Amino acid sequence: MSHFTVELAPAAEGEVGDAYLWYRERNPLAAEAFRTEVFDAVDRIEEAPLTWALDDEGNRKYVLRRFPYSVFYEVFGTQVTILAVAHHRRKPNYWRDRPG
């Protein structure tokens, strides 16, 4: 059992919801697959958040396998905060200046 606690920043939660709705309008099965993959990513991050390398800003990135999204997060002590669930084609690092 992990000793880390994961929290999604409100903006990251909104990004997951928006992407889910976008997929659902096009293909409900894809929407469910997206949601499942995001939840699996959060579970993997919770189990071993230090596995993924730090970037220059001290954040970490988990890349989804089936969808063009990455989960960006930070770790402070035992607290993990998901900062963004960002599409690969959006402006890079658009989320960096928003509050966590």
Asked if residue 63 has pLDDT above 90, the reply is yes
Domain count within the chain:
1
Please give the pLDDT value at position 100: 55
Whether residue 56 lies inside any domain: the answer is yes
3-class secondary-structure state, position 22: helix
Query: Which range marks the domain in which residue 54 is found?
Result: 5-87
Please give the pLDDT value at position 19: 97
pTM above 0.85, yes or no: yes
Nearest to 80 by CA among 90, 88, 72, 91: 72
CATH code of 39's domain: 3.30.2310.20
Whether residue 96 lies inside any domain: the answer is no
Whether residue 97 lies inside any domain: the answer is no
Please give the pLDDT value at position 56: 86
Whether residue 99 lies inside any domain: the answer is no
Q: Output 2 or 16, whichever has higher pLDDT.
A: 16
Whether residue 15 lies inside any domain: the answer is yes
Whether residue 95 lies inside any domain: the answer is no
Asked if residue 1 has pLDDT above 80, the reply is no
